[in-house]
Chain A
Amino acid sequence: MKRNSIFFFLIFALLAFISFAFQVKEGESLFLKPSNFPEPVYDFTKNPLTTEGVALGKVLFYDALLSKDNTVSCGSCHQQTAGFTQHGHVLSHGINDALTKRNSMPLANLAWFKDFGWDGGVHHLDLFAVSPLTNPAEMDENLPNILEKLRKTNTYPVLFQKAFGSEEINSERFLKALSQFMLTMVSANSKYDKAMRNEGVVLSESEEQGEAIFKQKCASCHSGVLFTDLKFHNNGLSPASKADLGRYDVTLLEEDRLAFKTPSLRNLDATAPYMHDGRFGTLEEVLEHYDAGIENNATLDPSLKQNNRIGIPLSMDEKTKLLAFLKTLNDDDFLRNDRYAEVSQAKDPEADKYKDVDWEKVDLQTNSPTIKASFKKAWILYTEIKNALIAENGDKASAAIESLFPIFNDIDKTAMTSMQRVFFQNVFNDLSFEMEHIADTKDYKHQRDHFGDFSKHLFRLIKAFKTHDKPLYYFHCPNAMFKRGGYWISDTEIDKNPFFKNDKDCGKIKMVLLP
């Protein structure tokens, strides 16, 4: 009897240990501290990550049920491909398109932050979600109502059960699940990180020079590997007409007037526009601001008025190098990683079935007249966009792209086989990423940076579905897109280069697609 109980005790202890060890393992794979990062601030022992908890958080993050009229989700203002900011919006749009006071903030590396919001009014990540949920300009719903809505669904009680052991839905569980998902958003795979960790990548000479300039002129505030000192400064933006006093509204201290949280500078390519009110559309403007646009007022940070000069002197050459360095902080892996992608579009229930398919080798030709009609319209718009870029007309290109969205969104998926559908969705995820970038700016130069990949993905679709009834020519210009090379499609053998006005000769036919 006695020996038995010892035996059982040992078995039990072993099981407990295994499950504990497993849980630690699981938590680790969900949140891995990058080796070049400091220890996180968030206390994971109070909210240990689990696969189910993160999954629940993700569903909540993308669910518009959280807003009063069921139209806005966290993901509406925090879009992955935009570094979890809102694409192309100066001030975020919420319910009824009401403007929020401020520009949406990028969400990344939140586990290392201790104050949240541009003014740092919230001191714990778990509590942040209460703010957009109850701000009338944002989601305009209060938490008890949301919890009640969730309780009434068929799915959420099950998801809460999986994540927390019972079907109970309460504030704590709701907020912790959202945090679990947001905590997994770690951006640490930029070129800069890889070089720092000696992963076989090195910065170019100008990038390194840019880094040196950055360290000298910017890193007093944008410090460390997070590129923020987590503090609040007035960086000399002239107050807008309806002044947002920033940190002052929280502390009521004179010295905090017009001070805002130092933002991280990761993924800047995706997070335009910049600053708390989104006043700058490009990084060039930001640098111009630091060099010559700073307004001197009582609370301007002392580091911005040294040696009797307002601002940070930057020569043209220094600006170019700084921009090159800032680009090394973009992390495509983070911006495109499926684990953060919007649930509804990311997963076709049959996607897994085809995950090993070699798409080059399968026949996906369609005979559906509705699908062919959609592609015909898409082709007309594509030609418009291309011609607009040749004419250097950014407005026109952006407008044509806008009309392209509904055509692909409404494409007749019922006329597709499941294999066609999975292929379409895969390519469309890539395609829409480029489309959004082109739509978001009216700057034809920036549009050109996305046009090459946009053409490439469109070509993949046309080629697979065989929707075009005349020959198509697939051009490649190696000088385009910062020498990464850019593609375009044409229905004539001779075509103008949409990337350069003067480099007429760049562009060779790589492939002819016969009907």
Chain B
Amino acid sequence: MKNILILLVSFSYLMLNAQSSGTLTLQFDNMVGNEDMVLNTKNYKNAMGEDFNISLFQYYVSNIRLMKSDGSEYAVPQNESYFLIREQDPKSQTVTLNNVPKGKYTGIRFVIGIDSLRNTADISQRKGCLDVGGEAKDMYWAWNSGYIFVKMEGTSPVIELNADRKKPIFMYHIGLFGGMGDKKTLNNIKETKLSFGSKKLKVKDNTTHYMVIKTDASHILNGSTNISIAKNPSIMAGPFSAKIADNYNVMFSFGGFAKSLNTISETKTAMK
């Protein structure tokens, strides 16, 4: 008898739980200015008037939170809140958040990069896209232990060649999480906050909602500091990296809701 009761209670709990949440799929759309990003073949120009193309573009998004008008928030569970978006890998650009509680949301915020806690976490907490022996192998500095947050590489004819630089390649690898303990380093962790404007995200039971976030890579080079590729073809863990992080702080924007993934790609083609 008792057993049946327990069964009933847990069943109804499950039902309730299932009923009170939906799914949100985020589609990250990498762009350069108003154009869709195309690797290798397409030419772009930065604010300094320098031509370049992009061979690699990837970044971490983490600690996603959905905001409500009353100031409360839904935080995606910590362990499920790390994503590595790679331009070469279309699958990585779709991020699915399950069990988002039913409700009306007015905006989203997330960290560009990896929070300091996870940057210093022990190896058992570095799974999936954080696995230094797996997906994260090219997004991790082993000698100055920490994740690379945003990475863009490409070529530009303005880069002068010399003994150390045999190809006109630029590399922008931006990381540094502030260090730990008495080890203080530069802190390039940035948080982005996007409002849905007049629109609201109404999460319904057992429903999947779709949303586009645009990532404009031109902000890596253009912004409060306009970066000259010729002068700075390689920026990594040095002080100058802070300028780029300040620039890319605004590279994300809200790109609207969609009814399905198909309509997302339609919106995308329409935009081109």
Contacts and interface: CB of A to CB of B under 8 A. Distances in A.
A130 B186 contact: no
B50 to A, nearest CB: 27
Contacts of B140: 130
A134 B124 contact: no
Nearest to B125: A172
Nearest to A146: B133
B187 to A, nearest CB: 11
A229 to B, nearest CB: 11
Contacts of B239: 252
A451 B181 CA distance: 48
A250 interface: yes
A292 B126 CA distance: 48
A143 B131 CA distance: 10
A130 B181 contact: no
Contacts of B122: 43, 46-47, 124, 126
B170 to A, nearest CB: 20
Nearest to A249: B144
Interface stretch (A22-30, A112-120, A272-280): A112-120
B234 to A, nearest CB: 15
Given A46-B124, A147-B133, A252-B238, A127 B145 contact: yes
Contacts of B185: 250-252
A135 B179 contact: no
A46 B122 CA distance: 8
Contacts of A170: 131, 133-134
Contact of B123 (A120, A147, A171, A253): A171
B134 A144 contact: yes
A171 B132 contact: yes
A174 B144 contact: no
A128 to B, nearest CB: 8
B183 interface: yes
Contacts of A147: 133
Interface of A: 43, 46-47, 114-115, 117, 119-124, 126-127, 130-131, 133-135, 142-144, 146-147, 170-172, 174-176, 231, 249-253
B144 A121 contact: yes
B124 A144 contact: no
B137 interface: yes
Given A126-B123, A249-B144, 4 more contacts: A122-B145, A143-B132, A249-B237, A252-B186
B189 to A, nearest CB: 15
Interface of B: 120, 122-124, 126-127, 131-134, 137, 140, 142-145, 179-186, 237-239
A126 B122 CA distance: 8
Contacts of A123: 120, 145, 180-181, 183
Nearest to A126: B123
B141 to A, nearest CB: 8
Contacts of A135: 142-143
Contacts, number: 87
B143 A121 contact: yes
Contact of B184 (A131, A175, A251): A251
B124 A172 contact: yes
B144 A130 contact: no
A123 to B, nearest CB: 6
A133 B179 CA distance: 23
Contacts of B181: 114, 123
A1 to B, nearest CB: 16
Nearest to B180: A123
A49 B123 CA distance: 16
A174 B140 CA distance: 17
B186 to A, nearest CB: 6
A46 B123 CA distance: 9
A147 B134 CA distance: 9
A264 B136 CA distance: 33
- With most chain A CB atoms within 10 A of its CB, the pick from B122, B133, B137, B185 is B133
Contacts of B133: 130, 143-144, 146-147, 170-171, 174-175
Contacts of B123: 124, 126-127, 171-172, 175-176
Contacts of A172: 123-124, 126-127
Contacts of A124: 120, 122-123, 145
A435 B120 CA distance: 43
25 contacts: A47-B122, A115-B183, A122-B144, A123-B120, A123-B145, A123-B181, A123-B183, A126-B122, A126-B123, A127-B142, A130-B133, A134-B137, A134-B142, A135-B142, A143-B132, A146-B133, A147-B133, A171-B123, A171-B126, A172-B126, A175-B123, A250-B179, A251-B179, A251-B183, A252-B185
Contacts of A176: 123
B143 A131 contact: yes
Contacts of B182: 231
Contacts of A174: 133
8 shortest interchain CB distances as A-B pairs: A171-B133, A143-B133, A131-B142, A121-B144, A130-B142, A122-B145, A126-B123, A172-B123
B166 to A, nearest CB: 16
